[in-house]
Amino acid sequence: MKIIDLQEEQDLDNQEAGNVIIDFYANWCGPCRALASSFTNISEENHFSDDLTLVKVNIDQHQDLAQKFNVRSLPTIIFTSSGKSLKTKVGSLSKADLITMIKSVYDIK
């Protein structure tokens, strides 16, 4: 799994072709930091191949995207494939629950 910290909205547009998890967060959000740690561990442990990308979106810097995706609470995770939203999860998850959800959404064995 690749992790990309969104710099410009164009970066998100460049990721629409594959399986993309969009993580809306804020630096001041405690549950967001816990979730970020889980994502980092999952990536470092190579649980998923590089055809899965995590795009981190700081809502303080990208309020327009937060509005576009109707983000009301943090953290919000949106699972997409080929630019289409598959599932939205609001709130933090444990590492194990996050792995289970990713496998379920993308039908990974």
Domains and CATH numbers, the chain: 2-105 (3.40.30.10)
Confidence of residue 14 (pLDDT cuts 50, 70, 90): low
Quick one: 19 exposed, middle or buried, by C-beta within 10 A (0-12, 13-18, 19+)? buried
Confidence of residue 15 (pLDDT cuts 50, 70, 90): low
Residue from 21, 29, 77, 78 carrying the catalytic annotation: 29
Token reading at 29: 């959000």
Give the mean model confidence (pLDDT) for residues 71-100: 95
Give the pTM.
0.90
Token reading at 51: 């055809």
Residue from 32, 35, 93, 99 carrying the catalytic annotation: 32
For residues 20 and 80, the answer to whether their CB atoms sit within 8 Å is yes
* 32 classed as catalytic: yes
Query: Residue 86 pLDDT more than 70?
Result: yes
Distance CA 7, CA 56 (A): 9
> What percent of the chain has pLDDT above 70?
92
Confidence of residue 2 (pLDDT cuts 50, 70, 90): confident
State the Cα angle at 107 between 33 and 95, rounded to 5°. Answer: 25
Confidence of residue 51 (pLDDT cuts 50, 70, 90): confident
